[in-house]
Amino acid sequence: MKKLWEHLLFLMIMIQLCSAQTKQSCHSAVYCQGDLLHLVQTAKIFNDSKTFVDMAMIHPLNETLKRFQLLMSENDEHPTREQIKEFVYKNFKSIGELDEYYPRDFKHEPKIIKEITDPVVRKFAQSLIDIWPTLTRTVSYHVIDHPETHSLIPVPHPFVIPGGRFKELYYWDTYWILKGLLLSDMVETARGMIQNLLSMVERFGFVPNGGRIYYLNRSQPPLLTQMVADYVKYTKDFEFLRNNINTLEKELQFWLTKRLVTIEKGGKTYELARYDSESDTPRPESYWEDIETCSRLTGEKEKMYECYADLKSGAESGMDFTSRWMFDKFGEPTGNLADINTRRIIPVDLNGFLYKAFKVMYKFNLILQREEEAKFWLDKADQWKNSIENIFYNEEDGIWYDFDEKLGKQRKHFYVSNFLPLWAGAMDDNVKEERGRRAAEYLKKKGIVNFQGGIPSTLLQTGQQWDFPNAWPPYQNLIIIGLDKSNSTEAKEVAKQLAHKWINSNIKGFHDNKAMFEKYDVQTSGQFGGGGEYNVQAGFGWSNGGILELIHLYYRAKTRKYIGSF
């Protein structure tokens, strides 16, 4: 009965996909779209759909497609699972697309180690720094010589991968990795990683989610401008800035043209951005999982395509997945992935990131004496600050909330993203201290300061990996540093308390497991997280970089100083 159901589901999906003008993930007839991808992924040969689309073709593309057509014709268009499996292993292989690389600028004991006064924290920081060479990679000659037979996007410089199943570079992971590399005095590696992302902007017009062609349908939180700010502040390499300022502008124009939305409120019009993948087919790396999720909308073909687009848009947000994007018609969160409505939400964090980028671009152009460009970006920053204030800020609760475009109202739920404008400084200077104090009070009111293992992403336990009880490294730093920079005495104290808890939890987890993880459980200090589409991954690039940033801020003997506060 189960096999019959799967066969019927296969036919239904094929009919629906073929009968519509869908927008594919990319142009590849193997890795992004087409009968071959669909047949292999729905046969569920591998436990993780990402496994297949990360394999290399043994033969040239045309030969691979000919062999696939032969498989289909010889088996009356319905090969068995075993025949499909045999075809895959005869025509694809998992080869070393990336080579291990020992970074030339690696220093076993960089300056930060000598400045840490606490011996336990110092030993832990040293262990994190020693992980960098184990995660550093270069693109192998296999990919460089035959890029058309791989899903990997070749880049020119060595880079640090997150770890685990994530064997390529990722956009916003790189931001946190970069902070750790700079604090580890690995300037050459840091610059190369930025250059890799800049090269993607030149090729594709934006930075994709990650370094695979099947990610070319979406980006991730726009942090490239801030990466350059961190690098320039650390190195004073203003020539690098001059050489790449136009590429930074090109990336931000992607968000201003492809992700823009207009909101009307109180008789006024505001421009903001949202996460919005333009592709409405299953994610190649989660193909069968997406079909299972969206097939629950059987009989509503257009909703099925919208479901795929919202899944990809949720992945673009970096928070894939969370009840923040899943809710019923009344806007109440459900935690049911089939209820995903990412594109309906105007997100606080995305617009905070953009405000910060616009403000940095203003400063960059002033430095380069480009007055007209400086004025353009200052105007954008002021416009975004005004929109953030009027659309997101809730005076009664003293916090920022996402905005539901369809219902025309704020979504008054706890999400770590609520605090992003504080980190970005997206407010007038005369209210910054008050906003910090009220944000700290909001954290206390929600009971967040009582958790021993970090700040939970949400307070709703759904089984989704970006929901309770999971704490994710990026937002620990964004919240802590936002509170600290507000200059509120109360906010600074809460920030310090949260920072020490997070650092201690990571130290305990590393001591117990001899590894760093991508996420942790807030209920128990040192316990790694769970839930979601795959098992928790160890490594882990952004965990290491984020912790080093907090150690740099709270455990150095010298005067406290932000890394990359431009």
Phi/psi-derived region of residue 454, left when phi > 0, alpha when psi is between -120 and 50, beta in every other case: left
Amino acid at position 281, single letter: T
For residues 214 and 325, give the distance between their C-alpha atoms in angstroms, rounded to a whole number.
22
- Among candidates 147, 365, 123, which has minimal Cα distance to 244? 365
Query: Among residues 402, 518, 533, 549, which one is catalytic?
Result: 518
CA distance 543 to 177: 8
Catalytic residue among 54, 185, 306, 320: 320
| Measured distance CA(310)–CA(280) in Å, rounded | 8
Burial of 269 from C-beta contacts in 10 A (0-12 / 13-18 / 19+): exposed
Distance separating alpha carbons of residues 218 and 378, to the nearest angstrom: 27
Strand partners, 136: 160
- Around Cβ 111, how many Cβ atoms within 10 Å? 12
Apex 257 CA angle, 410 and 156, nearest 5:
115
70 φ, ψ (degrees, to nearest 5): -65, -45
- Angle, to 10 degrees, between the axis of helix 81-91 and the axis of helix 61-74? 160
Residue 109: active-site member: no
Q: Is 518 a catalytic site residue? A: yes
Q: Are 91 and 30 in contact (CB under 8 A)?
A: no
Task: Give me the amino acid identity at 177.
Answer: I
What does the block give as tokens for 114? 């000598």
**H or E segment to which residue 272 belongs:** strand 268-273
The residue written with tokens 């499909």 in the block is 84
End-to-end CA distance of the chain: 62
E strands, 337-496, are: 345-346, 393-394, 399-400, 403-404, 409-410, 470-471
Distances (CA, A) of 181 to 130, 197, 485, 547: 11, 16, 23, 12
Q: What letter represents residue 523's amino acid?
A: Q
Burial of 455: CB neighbours in 10 Å, binned 0-12, 13-18, 19+: buried
Peptide bond into 166 cis (omega under 30): no
Measured CA to CA, the distance from residue 227 to residue 129 in angstroms comes to 19
Nearest alpha-carbon partner for 125 in 135, 110, 105, 103: 110
Q: What is the largest CA-CA distance in the chain?
A: 74
Q: Are 440 and 490 in contact (CB under 8 A)?
A: yes
**Token digits of residue 93:** 């292989």
Answer yes or no: are the C-beta atoms of 416 and 455 closer than 8 Å: yes
Structure tokens, 333: 């969160």
Backbone angles phi, psi at 69, to 5 degrees: -60, -35
Catalytic residues: 320, 518
